[in-house]
Amino acid sequence: MMSDKTQENLYTAFVGEAKAHHRLLAFARKAENEGYEQVAKLFRAVASAEGVHAERHLRLLGEAAVRSTEENLQYSFEQETTVNEMYYPAFIQEAEEEEETAAVVTFKQARDVEERHAALYKRALNAMLREETHDYYVCQVCGYIAEREPADECPVCGARREKFRPVTCA
């Protein structure tokens, strides 16, 4: 039987990740309409990764406004930073105190992956990726995003290359 606090945190994390998943898909459509093809792909890659987090949290439990693309990138960067610097560290500490080992691993990997997402957004905000055309590959275990080609081994969770799924346009 899972402890109350971790159960509550897993649910909060699920709701946050699920909201991000759907919001990012809307941001991707907006970016596409605005002619930012690569930014649209990035939003889709991160949306897919947040879907991995949402489903993963939910599995362990047993059970957002669209502005301009530049604003959406800024907002998304801030969200990732908040989650990775504030929420996940607190969840990790509480899960550790309650010796919820599986939740500790999930929260830690998500924290590391959100830091990577923030870095991708930060780079996107510079020149809006206008010079780039490449694919993203999302680790279906932890949500880590590789650019251009899948990683042979996921740097966050260690998953093999086959676990990476490409993010294609539309």
User: How far is the C-alpha of 94 from the C-alpha of 1, rounded, in Å?
Assistant: 16
Task: Pick from 32, 80, 94, 100 the residue near Fe ion by CB under 5 A.
Answer: 80
The nearer residue to Fe ion, 35 or 155, going by C-beta atoms, is 155
Task: Pick from 141, 147, 161, 165 the residue near Fe ion by CB under 5 A.
Answer: 141
Q: Which stretch binds Fe ion (CB under 5 A): 57-65, 94-102, 122-130, 139-147?
A: 139-147
User: How far is the C-alpha of 138 from the C-alpha of 120, rounded, in Å?
Assistant: 13
The least distance separating Fe ion from the CB of residue 23, rounded to whole angstroms, comes to 11
The least distance separating Fe ion from the CB of residue 1, rounded to whole angstroms, comes to 26
Burial of 116 (0-12, 13-18, 19+ CB in 10 A): buried
The 10 Å Cβ neighbour count of residue 125 is 14
| Cα Dmax for the chain | 51
Which residues sit at the interface with Fe ion, rule CB under 5 A?
A: 17, 50, 53, 80, 114, 117, 139, 141-142, 144, 154, 156-157, 159
